[in-house]
Amino acid sequence: MQNPIRVSVTGAAGQIGYALLPRIASGEMLGLDREVILQLIEIPPAMDALRGVAMELEDCAFPLLRDIVLTDDLDRGFEGAHLALLVGAKPRGKGQERGDLIRENGPIFVGQGRAIAEVADDEVRVAVVGNPANTNALIAMSSAPGLPRERFTAMTRLDQNRAMAQLTGKAGVPLTDVTNVGIWGNHSATQYPDFENARIGGRPAEEVIGDRRWLEGDFLTTVQKRGAAIIEARGQSSAMSAASALVDHVRDWMGGEATPEGDWVSMAVPSDGSYGIDEGLITSFPVRTDGKGGYEIVQGVELSDFARGKIEASVAELQEEREVVRDLL
């Protein structure tokens, strides 16, 4: 793996950026043996704020932080990038549904996908956080035909972490006991957090919790609507937890931490047709990562009719989103 590693972050002056950058620069995301060059991309009105963030990063005196580039130019921002974190987008406001943002945010990802294909490192990996994350990743992937499709992912790790937190709380067990939590479909209120295959202390979560009504009801809706609940309470969308989930996503994918034997993690990746989901649609699946930039979609996960119905509904939403941005693909 490259040393130093070039990490491009869009929307770096935003609230996720503020929680994310110190965790990249400290080595938590990519390893304590890897120097980092941060290439921070913003839109012109946010460049002053970005300079302030960069001053703070300097003042953190991170030994692994080799250099910081600040730019509103995509070619400069993605030049030689080994990792591109596409965070920048207009966040969902109070009471606004993700779907409303599709047309607004989609075009941003055309330009970014093109620039990544042209100037980033040949081995670049891309993770999209900006919403609607799955469809934005689809747009970026479609705008970068020279790059293998599997390099493009969208983040659903926050949804997995939210589901794990709910299961931990209900079962009264340490978080480390909770494994095999898979998020299926879209990063939206239609997502399906699969509790039927989740395990607690190696046993089926359903058996440990013993309350199917809670799992089908409060558990599902709490995870699906957690983003909206945080906006309601905080007046701003999740930032600390989103940054933390992105650290998890990248660390497991390419930061040296392969998925432990028997477990899986959740990532939205281009479907390869697994489970009958349209090839190329960026869909969240349970995956196993190798920590070196590779992953595979877990095969043979048993899905009940209940689960299949939920996944189909979320995939249908992704198909609708794809239609809305068809002209950008």
Instruction: With CA atoms as reference, report the closest residue to 281 among 146, 93, 142.
Output: 142
DSSP reduced 3-state for 152: strand
Angle among Cα 146, 9, 132 to the nearest 5 degrees reads: 75
187 included as an active-site residue: yes
**Closest approach of Cβ 30 to ligand NAX, in Å?**
20
Q: Does 238 bind ligand NAX (CB under 6 A)?
A: yes
CA atoms within 13 A on the CB side of 295: 34
Write the interaction track for ligand NAX spanning residues 258-297; mark x where CB under 6 A is met and - where it is not. ----------------------------------------
Distance of CA 72 to the CA centre of its chain: 23
Q: Is 84 in the site for ligand NAX (CB under 6 A)?
A: no
Binding of residue 13 to ligand NAX (CB under 6 A): yes
Q: Minimum Å distance from CB 264 to ligand NAX?
A: 18
Q: Which of 34, 187, 288, 322 is catalytic?
A: 187
Q: Is 53 in the site for ligand NAX (CB under 6 A)?
A: no
Binding pattern for the stretch 102-141 against ligand NAX, x by CB under 6 A and - elsewhere? ------x--------------------xxx-x--------
Residues 237, 244, 283, 284: which binds ligand NAX (CB under 6 A)?
A: 237
Find the radius of gyration of the CA atoms of the chain.
Answer: 19
Instruction: Return the residue of 30, 38, 85, 87 that touches ligand NAX, per CB under 6 A.
Output: 87
What residues contact residue 64 under an 8 Å CB cut-off, 6+ apart? 25, 26, 27, 32, 34, 35, 36
User: Judged by CB under 6 A, which of 27, 31, 88, 270 binds ligand NAX?
Assistant: 88
Query: How many residues lie near ligand NAX (CB under 6 A)?
Result: 29
Tokens of 211: 């309350």
User: SS3 letters for 53-86?
Assistant: HHHHHHHHCCCCEEEEEEECCHHHHHCCCCEEEE
The token pair that represents 223 in the structure block: 């995870």
Separation between Cα atoms, residue 318 and residue 184, nearest integer Å = 11
User: Least CB distance from residue 47 to ligand NAX, whole Å?
Assistant: 9
> Is residue 321 close enough to count as binding ligand NAX by CB under 6 A?
no
**Residue ranges in contact with ligand NAX by CB under 6 A:** 10-11, 13-17, 41-43, 46, 87-89, 91-92, 108, 129-131, 133, 155, 158, 187, 227, 237-239, 242
